[in-house]
Chains A and B, each alone.
Chain A
Amino acid sequence: NAGVTQTPKFRVLKTGQSMTLLCAQDMNHEYMYWYRQDPGMGLRLIHYSVGEGTTAKGEVPDGYNVSRLKKQNFLLGLESAAPSQTSVYFCASSYSTKREQYFGPGTRLTVT
């Protein structure tokens, strides 16, 4: 099992450009999450999904959109990137909200 995978691993964007981060999991988990990790801030939840076709806002959702068209995939979109979105993005999945989350390797995004 690959677990949770993320593509791409690195990306540099100019302000105003758009991009989509892809997360895939092969554990048949219902729940999927997108986090960002910034120095001195800890992990913060952006959006999450409780099942195929559902999405919900987390702690810091502004400037991001998500989609969960297939159970195994969770996409994070940035429509108009800003320097404040420079961060490391992690995707995670879990069997339920009460159980441990399994994280992907992360995407390092720089917006100039």
Chain B
Amino acid sequence: EDQVTQSPEALRLQEGESSSLNCSYTVSGLRGLFWYRQDPGKGPEFLFTLYSAGEEKEKERLKATLTKKESFLHITAPKPEDSATYLCAVLNSGGSNYKLTFGKGTLLTVNP
């Protein structure tokens, strides 16, 4: 069974304190890994897609990386507005169907 595990469940940082969020996965055939940001009371907002090991994507203070077993979301010099829940999802293929499995998320709080 496909599994996606995100750690830590919650992370508190001071403004400017860089850190990383982890998404480890077990899937039969990875077709892509997605990162989303979700603010309280809102729907997930797409951040990145990574398709193969070694791939990296950047957007402002965020950088996502992918290995064969896990993905990291690196946050450099975070600001309070980066506070949100970050969701990871993996896409695998089972025959002709594609299945997206979400992790439970990491709640990030950045204090000023």
Binding site for B on A (CB under 8 A): 4, 40-45, 90, 92, 97-106
Q: A42-B103, A43-B102 are in contact. Are A105 and B91 (CB under 8 A)?
A: no
Q: Is the interface of B mostly helix, strand, loop or mixed?
A: strand
Which candidate, B13-21, B36-44, B58-66, B74-82, is the interface stretch facing chain A?
Answer: B36-44
The bracket for how many chain B residues form the interface is: 20 to 34
Bitwise, B83-112 to A at CB < 8 A (1) or not (0) is 000010101000001101011110000000
Measured in the bound complex, the distance between the Cα atoms of B44 and A106 in whole Å is 9
New A-B pairs, 18, CB < 8 Å, besides A101-B34, A106-B41: A4-B43, A40-B104, A42-B102, A42-B103, A42-B105, A43-B44, A43-B87, A44-B102, A90-B43, A92-B43, A97-B100, A100-B34, A101-B46, A102-B46, A103-B45, A105-B43, A106-B42, A106-B43
> Using Cβ atoms and an 8 Å threshold, which residues of chain A touch B91?
97-98
Contact A90 B44 (CB under 8 A): yes
> Using Cβ atoms and an 8 Å threshold, which residues of chain A touch B43?
4, 90, 92, 103-106
Chain B proximity of A26: nearest CB distance (Å): 15
Contact A98 B98 (CB under 8 A): yes
